Structures are given as structure tokens and as C-alpha cells.
């Protein structure tokens, strides 16, 4: 899978993709992540990427030209399955959306800043608008990093058995059960007996019960099933 991310702050995105699982996915050739600095595409004398908004009001708007030129250059090189715009007014990201997107071949993600991008960028190019939750970030970069991480780890071969996505919280609409490691007894706080029993079917049954219980207590909305 190839992901092209358009941003005015590429530095913000270098860290998250150059470590751990995201790094390994790229080294294994399973994911290609390309960062594009929108400013590099500006034809303006001062390489500006934003301007005052028509109608007045506080806050700058990202201009069409550099973003459109960057997208059109990428589209001339390959076909894209989705062009995603990260915005607090988009569809709220969940595991179902991540699962669907992890099977795509090429996507573009646009990170907005300031008051966002000129509406015409959205009208002309964008096929999907995504928010990562009901709060406002100062820019779309961290949201783009969240989306990319959540998608890339689902690409077959990225995770090994140890980090399998199958037992993640949310994969079956249930939260993951509690986990324990050594020591067996920490200042009187003990590991549940069942986990030491070696009885695998019983352990799996316990884990499922715990998942259900946790979900009921913490996220009953997930059990509503819609
Ligand atoms: Cl995608 N962008 C910004 N700026 N804020 C957000 C968001 C996105 N999702 C939640 N808050």
C-alpha cells in the first residue's frame, strides 16, 4: 500500500513513521509512506500557502493552487483509490473504516491547517473526509498520523503473531481483556488463578467473559451493534 500525505509541517510526521511497527512495515516493503511539503508546490513568490478568507473573519484559509498541483502531479503518476481530507467535521474514524482502508492500494491524505482548505479542494478532489474524534486539534497532521498508523498495522504481514491485530480491542467490537506478566504476586496483588492453570479452553472462555464485562462497564455503546 502507498500513502501520500500532503502537509505544511512534514517534520511533525517524520517521527511517528520512523520507529517500531510503522518503520518495519516500510522496511518489509508492505507500506510506502511519502510526505509532501505543500509549500514546495506553491508558485507564489514567497511560497505562501494560505490567504485571508472571503467574507471576512479570523483565520487564514489554505489556497487551492499548491494542493491542487501536488494532487494532480501524484494522479499523473498512478491511480488513487481515495483522497482523504482530515477535518474535525468529517466522519468519525473507527475500526471498521480502518479495516476497509487497509485493503486499498494507493491513497492520498491531506492535512489541513489554519481554518482549513478552500472548500473547492474538497469539492473537486476529496472522496472521503475523516475526523479522529470530537475535539479540535491545531492541525490535521497528528490526525493523519493516527489514521496512517491504524491502517498500516492492519496490512497483512505487518504484525507478527505476537502483535496480532485479531486480538485487538474493537476488532470484534469488544474491548481486549486484562493482561498480566511476572511476578505472579506483586505485594499481595495476584494474577487470576485461571491464567496459571494451563487449561487453554478455560482461559479463552475467561478472556471472552472479561472482554464482555469490560465492554459493558466502559463502552456499552459498542454492544448496541449498529
Ligand atoms: Cl482530522 N483535524 C483537526 N484539526 N482536528 C481534529 C481532527 C482532525 N479530528 C478530530 N479533531
CATH number at residue 218: 1.10.1270.20
Residue nearest to ligand 1 atom 7, measured at CA: 88
Where does the pLDDT of residue 108 fall: very low under 50, low under 70, confident under 90, or very high at 90 and above?
very high
Same domain, yes or no, for 146 and 70?
yes
List the one residue out of 29, 36, 30 whose CA is nearest residue 14: 36
Average pLDDT over residues 62-89: 98
Three-state DSSP at 212 gives helix
Same domain, 16 and 122: yes
Same domain, 111 and 187: no
Least-confidence region, from 7-11, 17-21, 162-166: 162-166
Q: Is the pLDDT of residue 226 over 60?
A: no
Q: How far is the CA of 141 from the centre of ligand 1 (A)?
A: 9
Query: How far is it, in rounded angstroms, from Cα 172 to Cα 94?
Result: 12
Query: Do the Cβ atoms of 87 and 99 come closer than 8 Å?
Result: no
At 223, the pLDDT band (50, 70, 90 cuts) reads very high
74 lines ligand 1 (CB under 6 A): no
Distance between Cα 49 and ligand 1 center (Å): 19
If you average pLDDT over residues 16-33, what whole number do you get?
A: 95
Q: Which residues pair with 111 in a beta bridge?
A: 86
Q: Which residue among 127, 152, 177 closes a domain?
A: 152
Q: Residue 137: inside a domain, yes or no?
A: yes
124 and 52 part of one domain: yes
Same domain? 93 vs 183: no
The mean pLDDT of 53-61, rounded to a whole number, is: 96
For residues 23 and 32, is the Cβ–Cβ distance under 8 A? no
Range of the domain at 186: 167-223
- Integer angstrom CA distances of residue 85 from 9, 12, 124, 166, 218: 15, 17, 12, 28, 30
Q: How many whole angstroms from 148 Cα to the centroid of ligand 1?
A: 14
pLDDT at 113: 87
Q: Which of 6, 59, 86 to mutate to test the pocket of ligand 1 (most atoms within 8 A of CB)?
A: 86
> What is the 164 CA–ligand 1 centroid distance (Å)?
28
156-205 pLDDT per residue, tens:
999 987 667 766 777 788 999 999 999 999 999 999 999 999 999 999 99
Residues paired with residue 36 on neighbouring β-strands, in sequence order: 6
Q: Are 143 and 171 within one domain?
A: no
The answer to whether residues 30 and 109 belong to one domain is yes
Ligand 1 centroid to Cα of residue 140, in Å, is: 6
How many domains are contained in the chain? 2
Are 76 and 179 within one domain? no
Share of residues in the chain with pLDDT > 90 (%): 91
Question: Looking at the domain assignment, is residue 162 inside a domain?
Answer: no
Cα 55 from chain centre: 34
- Is residue 125 assigned to a domain? yes
The pTM for the full model equals: 0.94
- Residue 140 Cβ inside 6 Å of ligand 1? The answer reads yes
pLDDT at 168: 78
20 and 87 within one domain: yes
Amino acid at each position: 500500500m502507498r500513502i501520500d500525505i500532503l502537509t505544511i509541517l512534514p517534520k511533525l510526521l517524520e517521527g511517528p513513521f520512523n520507529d517500531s511497527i510503522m518503520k518495519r512495515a516500510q522496511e518489509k516493503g508492505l507500506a510506502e509512506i511519502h510526505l509532501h511539503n505543500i509549500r514546495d508546490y506553491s508558485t507564489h513568490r514567497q511560497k505562501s500557502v494560505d490567504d485571508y478568507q472571503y467574507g471576512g473573519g479570523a483565520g487564514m484559509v489554505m489556497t487551492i493552487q499548491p494542493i491542487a498541483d501536488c494532487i494532480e502531479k501524484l494522479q499523473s503518476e498512478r491511480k488513487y483509490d481515495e483522497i482523504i481530507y482530515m477535518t474535525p467535521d468529517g466522519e468519525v474514524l473507527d475500526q471498521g473504516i480502518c479495516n476497509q482502508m487497509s485493503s486499498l492500494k494507493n491513497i492520498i491524505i491531506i492535512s489541513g491547517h489554519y481554518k482549513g482548505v478552500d472548500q473547492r479542494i474538497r469539492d473537486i478532489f476529496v472522496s472521503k473526509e475523516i475526523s479522529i474524534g470530537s475535539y479540535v486539534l491545531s492541525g490535521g497532521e497528528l490526525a493523519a498520523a493516527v489514521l496512517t498508523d491504524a491502517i498500516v498495522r492492519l496490512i497483512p504481514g505487518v504484525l507478527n503473531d505476537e502483535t496480532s491485530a485479531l486480538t485487538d480491542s474493537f476488532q470484534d467490537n469488544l474491548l481486549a481483556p486484562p493482561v498480566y506478566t511476572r511476578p505472579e504476586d506483586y505485594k499481595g496483588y495476584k494474577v487470576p488463578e485461571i491464567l496459571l492453570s494451563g487449561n487453554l479452553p478455560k482461559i479463552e472462555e475467561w478472556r471472552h467473559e472479561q472482554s464482555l464485562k469490560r465492554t459493558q462497564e466502559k463502552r456499552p455503546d459498542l454492544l448496541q451493534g449498529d
